[in-house]
Copies of this chain bind each other. A is one copy, B any other.
Amino acid sequence: MSHTTKNKAKTLSRVRRIKGQVEAIERALEGDSECEDILQLVASCRGALNGLMAELIEGHLKFHVLVEGQKTLPSQREAADELIAVVKRYFN
Residue ranges of A at the interface with B (Cβ–Cβ < 8 Å): 2-5, 8, 11-12, 15-16, 18-19, 22-23, 25-26, 29-30, 32-36, 38-40, 42-43, 45-46, 49-50, 52-53, 56-57, 59-61, 63-67, 70-73, 75-76, 79-80, 82-83, 86-87, 89-91
Choose from B19, B43, B59 the contact partner of A90 (Cβ within 8 Å).
B43
Pair B53/A79 contact, Cβ less than 8 Å: no
- In angstroms, how far is the closest chain B Cβ from the Cβ of A18? 6
Choose from B29, B46, B66, B79 the contact partner of A11 (Cβ within 8 Å).
B29
Choose from B22, B39, B59, B76 the contact partner of A66 (Cβ within 8 Å).
B76
24 A-B pairs within 8 Å (CB atoms) are namely A3-B35, A4-B38, A5-B32, A12-B29, A12-B30, A15-B29, A35-B64, A36-B60, A36-B79, A39-B82, A42-B49, A42-B52, A43-B86, A46-B46, A46-B90, A53-B86, A53-B90, A64-B75, A64-B82, A65-B66, A65-B83, A66-B76, A70-B76, A87-B87
